[in-house]
């Protein structure tokens, strides 16, 4: 699924210049809503700068507030150990017309809401007029009992490994690298690994609702955040307020089916980018008179890098894996298409700095060589959720289908099936249950050109939510997500629902009305392992 491939490349996709950590000191204290089944009052205080696990950066503006909410580590033992959840908010500007809180999850899994929301907030100014904008680091992420695996030096080596082995020795190296990574996760975070799955995160969402003092959860879920929202709606249908799912993860797909669908989605997006390049004629730097020729040249570059990596950043080389990561990152937003063109042009000339920078952003690596915990959290949450565990032989048998789906991305996504093979915690499901009879309407948005969450996932989410719950809106655009594309039609429909409660007509279709002015804030997830 999209969850298995691209995670939060916040540094490139959202240009986050401001982010915040949490402090329990000072600030106002909220009272609990009636029927707070265990949620503690929140003590809002000044935000600190985000931790390295959250991606680093500066503290948000002074009018932002942070808090910590303690929740059970194991909901089967509610009186047992607790873990902290890091929360952040910007209060509504119109206090007299305030509707409550609007809680965001930007995806991943593994993306830090603490880091993402302040940098993306300008995109939600219309919603902040009447809502407190709230986000959080889900359990296992950033400031919320983060999963820890390998250190920075080890991660540099891990991401430099060949993720598409072509010989028995390369296969052994690949498998050994995964085992070493997983052992480090178990050694450093064994206590939390059994409890970081999406169902527990959904229960945390309800604790957050209670602690915020809201009778209903008003929610904006993007990418993996739609799956989290769907599971929440299934567990707590009567507690759903006004909810929007954008860039929808398909709840009907197993991890293998989702990865295969994503291979097709990225191939589609690459083809759209290549055709745009062809249409611009001499203005395009990339050689090729057709989209197919451009794609063939990319495949040729991949093969050359597999044999002979080129200079990247510092003493690191741009490998085939890093280049493919960088290509995928640039397909998340049409705003990044020029960087893809420039990066490929430079790589063909023997310089890999730009593609490596894109790859680093995808993997959560900053310019100082520090990694956020997004990769560790992404793996831990995926493996806690999905039951699928593939042997080497099973994986190799599935590679032809992945290669057929995408000559550029198929190998990487196929080999990534082994990400959870020896994980120490069993998975919870084949597919998540998102049926939500009795829920308020949920606006479900699908983008026809989305590479990471293919368009059909929105229709399947609507069907699985059940009659009278899911309301589908189609955006005929490019990139991951729709609201943050800048499209006036999409934004009007979402704002009208969240602010005024007006549900758009079923099967509403929006076509691009202007060139996107901002990159989407839905965090991607890393390509391959």
Residues near 406 by beta carbon (within 8 Å), at least 6 away in sequence: 263, 264, 266, 267, 413
Instruction: Copy the structure tokens of residue 121.
Output: 């907030």
Establish whether 223 is a catalytic residue: yes
Residue 376 to residues 55, 201, 302, 508, 511, Cα–Cα distance (Å): 13, 16, 26, 38, 37
CA distance 208 to 459: 29
Q: Which of 234, 225, 266 is nearest to 444 (CA)?
A: 225
Give the H/E segment covering residue 147: none
Give me the catalytic one of 156, 250, 411, 450. Answer: 450
User: CA angle, 103 as apex, 54 and 511 as ends, to 5°?
Assistant: 100
CA quadruple 475, 476, 477, 478: dihedral sign: positive
Establish whether 289 is a catalytic residue: no
CA distance 29 to 300: 60
Instruction: Copy the structure tokens of residue 521.
Output: 């804030």
CA distance 425 to 380: 9
Give me the catalytic one of 223, 359, 372, 521. Answer: 223
Q: Which of 379, 377, 374 is nearest to 364 (CA)?
A: 374
Establish whether 450 is a catalytic residue: yes
Give me the catalytic one of 2, 250, 406, 480. Answer: 480
φ/ψ (deg, to 5) at 348: -65, -25
For residue 220, what are the β-bridge partners?
104, 244
Residues with catalytic annotation? 223, 450, 480
């Amino acid at each position: 699924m999209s969850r298995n491939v691209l995670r939060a490349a916040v540094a490139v996709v959202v240009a986050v210049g401001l982010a915040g950590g949490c402090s329990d000191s000072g600030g106002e204290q909220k009272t609990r809503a009636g029927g707070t089944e265990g949620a503690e009052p929140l003590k809002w205080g000044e935000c600190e700068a985000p931790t390295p696990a959250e991606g680093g950066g500066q503290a948000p503006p002074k009018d932002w507030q942070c808090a910590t909410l303690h929740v059970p580590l194991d909901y089967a033992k509610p009186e047992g150990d607790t873990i902290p959840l890091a929360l952040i908010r910007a209060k509504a500007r119109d206090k007299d017309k305030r509707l409550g809180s609007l809680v965001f999850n930007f995806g991943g899994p593994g993306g830090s809401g603490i880091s993402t929301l302040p940098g993306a907030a300008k995109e939600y100014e219309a919603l902040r007029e009447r809502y407190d904008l709230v986000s959080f680091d889900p359990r296992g992420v950033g400031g919320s009992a983060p999963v820890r695996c390998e250190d920075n030096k080890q991660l540099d080596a891990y991401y430099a490994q060949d993720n598409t082995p072509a010989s028995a020795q390369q296969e052994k190296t690949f498998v050994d690298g995964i085992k070493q990574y997983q052992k480090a996760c178990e050694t450093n975070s064994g206590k939390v690994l059994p409890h970081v799955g999406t169902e527990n995160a959904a229960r945390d969402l309800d604790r957050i609702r209670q602690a915020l003092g809201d009778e209903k959860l008003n929610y904006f879920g993007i990418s993996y955040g739609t799956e989290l929202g769907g599971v929440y709606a299934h567990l707590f249908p009567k507690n759903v307020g006004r909810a929007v799912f954008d860039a929808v993860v398909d709840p009907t797909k197993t991890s293998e089916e989702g990865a295969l669908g994503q291979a097709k989605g990225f191939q589609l997006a690459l083809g759209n980018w290549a055709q745009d390049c062809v249409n611009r004629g001499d203005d395009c730097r990339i050689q090729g008179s057709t989209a197919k020729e451009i794609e063939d040249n990319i495949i040729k570059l991949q093969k050359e890098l597999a044999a002979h990596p080129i200079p990247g950043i510092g003493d690191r080389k741009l490998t085939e894996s890093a280049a493919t990561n960088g290509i995928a990152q640039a397909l998340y937003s049409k705003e990044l298409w020029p960087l893809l063109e420039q990066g490929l042009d430079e790589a063909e000339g023997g310089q890999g700095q730009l593609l490596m920078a894109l790859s680093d952003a995808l993997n959560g690596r900053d310019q100082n060589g520090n990694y956020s915990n997004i990769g560790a959290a992404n793996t831990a949450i995926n493996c806690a959720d999905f039951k699928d565990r593939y042997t080497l032989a099973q994986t190799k048998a599935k590679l032809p289908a992945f290669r057929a789906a995408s000559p550029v991305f198929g190998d990487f996504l196929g080999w990534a099936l082994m990400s959870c093979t020896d994980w120490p915690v069993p998975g919870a499901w084949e597919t998540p249950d998102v049926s939500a009879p009795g829920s308020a309407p949920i606006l479900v948005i699908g983008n026809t050109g989305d590479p990471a969450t293919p368009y059909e996932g929105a229709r399947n989410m609507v069907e699985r939510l059940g009659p009278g719950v899911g309301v589908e809106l189609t955006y005929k655009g490019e990139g991951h997500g729709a609201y943050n594309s800048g499209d006036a039609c999409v934004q009007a429909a979402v704002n009208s629902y969240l602010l005024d409660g007006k549900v758009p007509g079923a099967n509403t279709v929006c076509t691009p009305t202007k060139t996107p002015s901002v990159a989407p804030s839905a965090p991607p997830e890393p390509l391959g392992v």
